């Protein structure tokens, strides 16, 4: 079962590594959709979010017992909605679904970390450290321009890393 956790983690890491090595640090993780070539951007970004979310949600639900499974399920499901609504710069429904889904994904997963694990301090520390990285790092935009900063990217990265650390830490505490 732990293989599912590592499939998610490795998929997440490889996807971000591929984007940042080729294009630099994006303004946000979702901005990487616009950095990809137009013909492949939707299936690659959507597929990436599914390969990150699905194995993680299966592993996480399996280890969590009765600890607020709705937070876990919907937190990971909203990540898939982020992938489905990847062209977030389009105004209207796609933009709204993307922004709301990304916000709820982060909120629900972090609530679980704060309530059910002792690793909430890791989330706070990562957020503080990555906040300063994000302000100082200029992000790549799809048209070759550079954003003012990559604050959103680093805050999203802190959220993902705190989830991976919290979930795996919770698993290890349960197996002691």
Both tokens of 53, joined, read 């979310």
Domain range for residue 142?
A: 2-174
- Taking phi over 0 as left and psi of -120 to 50 as alpha, with beta for the rest, 144 belongs to left
Count of helices and strands (H, E) across the chain: 7, 0
Total domain count, the chain: 1
Residue 26 is given by DSSP the state B
Tell me the pLDDT tens digit for each residue of 55-66. Answer: 999 999 999 988
Contact 20, 133 (CB under 8 A): no
Helix 2-23 / helix 41-64 crossing angle, nearest 10 deg: 150
Return the SS3 of 133: helix
pLDDT in tens, 110-165: 999 999 999 999 899 999 999 988 888 888 776 667 778 888 999 999 999 999 99
SS3 165: helix
Question: Encoding tokens for residue 163?
Answer: 């989830």
Whole-number pLDDT of residue 141: 73
Tally of CB atoms within 10 A around 95: 14
Average pLDDT rounded to a whole number, residues 26-36: 93
């Amino acid at each position: 079962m732990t293989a599912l956790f590592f499939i998610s983690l490795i998929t997440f890491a490889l996807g971000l590594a591929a984007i940042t090595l080729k294009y630099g640090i994006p303004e946000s993780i979702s901005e990487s959709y616009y950095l990809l070539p137009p013909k492949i951007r939707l299936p690659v970004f959507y597929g990436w979010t599914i390969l990150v979310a699905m194995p993680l949600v299966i592993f996480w639900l399996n280890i969590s017992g009765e600890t607020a499974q709705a937070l876990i399920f919907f937190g990971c499901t909203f990540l898939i909605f982020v992938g489905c609504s990847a062209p977030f710069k389009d105004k209207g429904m796609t933009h709204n679904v993307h922004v709301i889904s990304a916000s709820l994904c982060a909120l629900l997963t972090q609530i679980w970390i704060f309530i059910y694990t002792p690793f909430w301090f890791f989330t706070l520390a990562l957020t503080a450290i990555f906040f300063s990285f994000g302000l100082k790092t200029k992000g790549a935009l799809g048209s070759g321009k550079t954003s003012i900063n990559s604050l959103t990217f680093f805050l999203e990265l802190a959220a993902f890393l705190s989830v991976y650390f919290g979930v795996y830490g919770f698993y290890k505490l349960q197996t002691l």
